[in-house]
Amino acid sequence: MENKFEYTYSALQNAEIEKIRKKYAPQTSAESKLEQIKKLDSSVESKGIACALAIGIPGSLILGLGMCCCLVWTNLFVLGIFVGILGIVMCGAAYPIYKNKINKRRAEVGPLILKLTQEIENNK
């Protein structure tokens, strides 16, 4: 009689099992605070990006329209210059608007993030 021990290990299977187990395991307060910090941090940049895109994309389209007026429809050359300048101004304003939104949002969210990180550090 041969006694054999057979064991198979699958890293992918164990990772999948761990992922499912985490869904159903109760979260500790440190984990939920960490999730709050991650959500707050990601919300800071997402609002700035959304505002910058809302200004930058129409600005680039308006700039393109101005270029078309100048290059294709030559009888609208002067109008094309003014439309192109408007598009350039809008594209140029996108980055300062982005930075302004991020700085305002950081000022709003910063104290809460610092408070949560302090609570996590105190629980260790």
Compute the mean pLDDT over every residue in the chain, rounded to the nearest whole number.
Answer: 87
Q: 67 with 80: CB under 8 angstroms?
A: yes
- CA-based radius of gyration for the chain: 27
Task: Note the pLDDT of residue 29.
Answer: 63
In the predicted model, is pLDDT for residue 15 greater than 60? yes
The CA distance from 25 to 18, in Å, is 10
In the predicted model, is pLDDT for residue 58 greater than 60? yes
Domain chopping of the chain, boundaries: 27-123
Average pLDDT over residues 25-32: 68
In the predicted model, is pLDDT for residue 33 greater than 90? no
Half-sphere exposure of 97 (CA within 13 A, CB side): 16
Task: Note the pLDDT of residue 124.
Answer: 62
Task: Note the pLDDT of residue 52.
Answer: 95
The CA distance from 83 to 122, in Å, is 57
List pLDDT tens digits, range 78-111: 999 999 999 999 999 999 999 999 999 999 998 9
Average pLDDT over residues 57-74: 93
